Amino acid sequence: MKPEVRRLITLACGFGAAMLFMAVAIYFGYSNAYRQGDDTSEVYMFGLNIYHLTLSGEKYVGTSNGPAMGGVCAIVMAAVLAIEEIVCKIRRH
């Protein structure tokens, strides 16, 4: 497979993994907010505030933090790409 295509596929997989990780983190953020019952709650990944939950009546309403979510995506995509490059170099030698 051409290196450019391999890298593109790897970055797409990294993006998908980042989306999955954030979805799971937000799910646990909602669970934690309902368990604690605070007026507001935050969801963090890698030290970045990716989601803000606010109690509205008896339900929590969430708002995303786009730049922080983009940062998380960039971190995960870079990590996946680095791991893939290391594995490819090890396989060649």
Asked if residue 44 is part of any domain, the answer here is yes
What is the band of 93 on the pLDDT scale with cuts at 50, 70, 90?
confident
pLDDT 10s digits, 19-73: 999 999 999 999 999 999 999 999 999 999 999 999 999 999 999 999 999 999 9
Q: Which residue has the tokens 């970045």?
A: 48
Q: What is the largest CA-CA distance in the chain?
A: 61
Does residue 60 belong to any structural domain of this protein?
Answer: yes
Position 61 scores a pLDDT of 96
Q: What is the pLDDT of residue 31?
A: 97
Reading across the β-sheet that carries 48-56, which strands appear in turn?
Answer: 40-45, 48-56, 59-64
Q: How confident is the model at residue 79 (pLDDT cuts 50, 70, 90)?
A: very high
Domain around 13 = 3-86
- Residue 38 phi/psi, 5-degree rounding, is -70, 165
Structural domain contains residue 93:
no
Provide the token pair at 22.
Answer: 């954030």
Confirm whether 92 is domain-assigned: no
Greater confidence, 34 or 93?
Answer: 34
- The answer to whether position 38 is within a domain reads yes
Residues 70, 23, 40, 32: is their CA dihedral positive or negative?
negative
CB-CB contact of 63 with 33 (8 Å): no
CA atoms within 13 A on the CB side of 63: 6
Residue 91 lies in a domain: no
